[in-house]
Structure 1
Amino acid sequence: MNISTENFTTPAASTNSTTDISLLNSLEMCMFGICFLSGLPTHSYIIWLIVTGTGSGVASEFFFLNLSVCEIGNCINAVFGLLSYFSSLFNILTNFVQGLCITGRPLFQCLMCVERYLAVVHPVTFLKFKPLRYRVICCTIAWIITLGSCLFCIFILVSVNRDAFVWFFSTMFLLYFSIQLFCLVAVLRALKQSGPGERRREREDENRMKRRAFFLILITTVTMSIQNVPFTITGLYVILTKQDVDDYWLPAFICYVLTGFLQPFLYLQRTGKLFRLCSS
């Protein structure tokens, strides 16, 4: 759920540990603290709800379950980000877990969007691949890709190649955003179409399902845009201007952390557990 602003600059710069904490560094540390203190209990609670069957069941919420596991890894990365201010020994762990931020979260969000797209546009195919084993296969592949991204982040740290790193996460964003945008447009087109021989009640139920899928994909796409577009723009700006300043990354980092709370908020609201969690 977090991406250190220092880790998105030159890896050589991120290895320089200092105890001189500036105002912007203090703000970043506060974001790390918010990410860990709010994200860890929230996603742990969501995982418990899914596993115990409080929601729609493990099978239907399997992608969200893996997304919450990935977000817990991001919360742990927030702790590493805090500790890296005081010891450079944590920089390697921070860069490794950073692959969860770049690839893990957007990849599982894409899987959720593709699932909704199939349910609305290709319902026969969706029913064919609805069993849990197909979701397990997809998530296994997603975790392998995420692990590869983590290893690549370590490789970038060793090779000290900032430009390659910036182009890497920019390409990841464009790829995942294109997939989500395609699902969004396809579901929107399906909403405008209705079967000629359908009954009015059946048509209303189908349109209600399509609208729900559309708004879910829309919210996920907007969330992903807010959390990744600032990083992409900042990265391209740094490459073109050759000005590598840590302060440039802070607004993008704040956007990434804050948008991470939207998905769990919507899930808790949908399951009716939001107000119970707030009262607790």
Structure 2
Amino acid sequence: MYDSTENSTTPEGSTNPTTYSYRIHAFELYAFSISFLVGLPTHSYVVWLIVKGTGSGVASGFFNLNLSFCEISSCLNSLFFVICTVYPFLTKLALFTQGFGITGRPLFQCLMCVERYLAVVHPVTFLKFKPLRYRVMCSTVAWIITLGSCLCCLLILVSGNINVHAWFFSLQFILFFSIQLFCLSAVLRVLKQSGPGERVREREEENHMKRRAFHLILITTLNIVIIYVPITISGFFTIMTKQYIPAIWFPALICFLLAGFVQPVLYLHRAGKLSCLCS
């Protein structure tokens, strides 16, 4: 998440701290490069499928569409971090675009989970807010919050206060994870309820819809755990030790980058574009 060439503490027994630091830095550059080269075409393909109307269409996949745009911005963030090693004037742009991954990604994931939660637990309310204009309003607010987070990341990191940055994304993780955990438990509780007065076929179709929503929320919640738990642990470690150690942050960075591929794979699977791989 930060420049690994900064002063840091290396593990005991490291005979060459400078070489160790640059080795970690090289691994980070490889991770950023893979994130950009694989993530950009994957998320762009998902955007193309949603706009084209393949799968569930633009209306029902509107939050997924915004999430893909946010992930594309995160891929560009990876590109900026690679380029700024050669062109340092792009460093501020790289720091600014961190907000798309820190806030934008989990925020749109939460909107998707809340949408599934309303569809299962409060279907009448879901039908009331089903029109596209409500999704556009929620997405507009989400983008404003995300851009505000980008500005905060820039100001905090330019000031060099890593501890404040660690608190910044750690508190966001707790908030977003709590929302998704609530949606997951509520859908699970409704899923376990039986409907004795319903027809067998209708009950099976309803249960299939509930299970699908539950699985989506479960995978999304596990995804956000993979994204933020390692980074949060690294953040608290940085807060306690008051120093940045590349070896501690590198595994968290890998989890952060790889977790961005979960949502596009889920959408491609639902759209039937991974049938050749599944077979």
TM exceeding 0.5: yes
1:14 corresponds to which residue? none
Q: Where does the alignment leave 5 or more consecutive residues of structure 2 unmatched?
A: 8-17
1:162-212 CA deviation, whole Å, 9 max, x = no partner? 211110100000000000000000000001112231111111111111000
Q: Percent same amino acid at aligned positions?
A: 63
Q: Which residue of 2 aligns with 1:215?
A: 215
Judged with a 3 Å threshold, the aligned counterparts in structure 2 of structure 1 residues 101 and 175 are, in CA distance, closer, same or farther, namely same
Counterpart of 1:114 in structure 2: which amino acid? V
Tell me how many residue pairs correspond in the alignment: 267
Gap change, CA 1:47 and 1:128, over 3 Å in 2: same
2:50 equivalent in structure 1:
50
| 1: CA distance, partners of 2:225 / 2:209 | 24
Equivalent residue runs for 1:237-252 within 5 Å? 237-252=237-252
- 1:160 positional shift: 2.4
Match of 1:83 in 2: 83
Matched residue, 1:15: none
Structure 1 contact 5–253 (Cα < 8 Å) conserved? no
Answering whether residue 21 of structure 2 is matched by residue 6 of structure 1, we say no
Give the aligned residue type for 1:50. I
Alpha carbons 1:117, 1:183 under 8 Å: kept: yes
Query: Is contact 2:3–2:25 with CA below 8 Å preserved after alignment?
Result: no
CA-CA distance at 1:6 after TM superposition = 2.7
CA distance in structure 2 between the aligned counterparts of 1:262 and 1:160, rounded to whole angstroms: 32
Q: Is the 8 A contact 2:32 2:78 kept in 1?
A: yes
Larger CA deviation: 154-163 vs 212-221: 154-163
Aligned to 1:116: 116
1:267 aligns with 267
Q: Is the 8 A contact 1:5 1:250 kept in 2?
A: no
Task: Please provide the CA RMSD for this pair.
Answer: 2.1
Structure 1 residues 194-249: Cα deviation after superposition (integer angstroms, max 9, x where no partner): 22311111111111110000000000000100111000011001111223222211
Does structure 1 retain, via aligned residues, the 8 Å contact 2:157–2:165? no
| Aligned counterparts, 1:18-57, within 5 A | 22-57=22-57
Equivalent residue, structure 2, for 1:94: 94
Correspondence for 1:104: 104
| C-alpha displacement of 1:253 | 0.2
Contact 2:24 2:246 in 1 (8 A): no
Partner residue of 1:61? 61
